[in-house]
């Protein structure tokens, strides 16, 4: 890591481990696999996050698009890493991405056209220092939408 410009981490790697903290201190960019994919995909995205229901909602959104004859690609935290789907995603009209809180922390370029925040209940508190921290990471999705993005949330 001495000469690294970028470190790509798995979602399960905590940002608090010594090597990552040292890299950040040295201004080395620490990004997720999802960030790497997002930088290469030039199609509109639907990003789905929340504590529960992400996989079902992501799969359902892809299914609805397919039934409407809209070419789409589904990936992210749902099973197939988005980096494995870059070519397919760039051939699609829409990309539907399941995004975990761990991925939201390290995917600054994510800029979906549609963001879905399903629910937020206390979870992953072994990784996040508090529920407020976890909630604020999930709420980052709204900031990522930009001025022309749309949001869908469960009340």
Tens digits of residue pLDDT in 3-55: 789 999 887 888 888 988 899 899 999 999 999 999 999 999 999 998 888 89
Residue 155 has pLDDT above 60, yes or no: no
- How buried is 119 (Cβ within 10 angstroms: 0-12 exposed, 13-18 middle, 19+ buried)? middle
Q: What's the distance, CA 43 to chain centroid?
A: 15
pLDDT value of residue 12: 81
Closest Cα partner for 56 from 115, 118, 11? Answer: 118
What is the tens place of the pLDDT at every residue in 47-89? 999 888 889 999 999 999 999 999 999 998 888 899 999 999 9
Asked, for residue 98, whether it belongs to a domain, the answer is yes
pLDDT value of residue 124: 66
Query: Is 54 an active-site residue?
Result: yes
pLDDT value of residue 123: 67
pLDDT value of residue 139: 85
Query: Is 77 an active-site residue?
Result: yes
Asked, for residue 12, whether it belongs to a domain, the answer is no
Which of 54, 72, 128, 138 is catalytic? The answer is 54
Report the SS3 class of residue 9: strand
Asked, for residue 28, whether it belongs to a domain, the answer is no
Which of 72, 77, 128, 138 is catalytic? The answer is 77
What range does the domain containing 58 cover?
33-153
Spell out the alpha helix ranges (H) of the chain: 18-25, 33-40, 54-67, 86-91, 101-105, 131-144
**CATH code (residue 72):** 3.40.1190.10
Tell if the pTM clears 0.85, that is, is over it: yes
pLDDT value of residue 141: 86
Buried b / exposed e across 105-116, counting CB within 10 Å, b at 16+? bbbeebbbbbbb
Asked, for residue 114, whether it belongs to a domain, the answer is yes
Query: Is 124 an active-site residue?
Result: yes
Which of 43, 113, 124, 140 is catalytic? The answer is 124
Structurally, the chain folds into a number of domains equal to: 1
Asked, for residue 13, whether it belongs to a domain, the answer is no
Residues 145 and 124: their CA atoms lie apart, in Å, by: 24
């Amino acid at each position: 890591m001495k000469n690294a410009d970028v470190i790509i981490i798995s979602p399960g790697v905590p940002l608090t481990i010594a090597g990552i903290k040292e890299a950040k201190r040295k201004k080395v960019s620490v990004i997720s696999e999802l960030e790497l994919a997002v930088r290469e995909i030039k199609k509109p995205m639907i990003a789905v996050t929340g504590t529960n229901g992400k996989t079902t909602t992501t799969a359902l959104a892809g299914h609805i698009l397919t039934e409407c004859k809209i070419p789409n690609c589904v990936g992210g935290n749902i099973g197939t890493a988005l980096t494995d789907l870059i070519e397919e995603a760039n051939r699609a009209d829409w990309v539907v991405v399941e995004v975990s809180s761990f991925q939201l922390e390290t995917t600054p370029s994510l800029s979906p056209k549609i963001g879905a925040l399903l629910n937020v209940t206390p979870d992953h508190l072994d990784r996040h220092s508090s529920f407020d921290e976890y909630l604020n990471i999930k709420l980052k999705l709204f900031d990522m939408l930009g001025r022309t993005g749309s949001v869908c949330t469960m009340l």
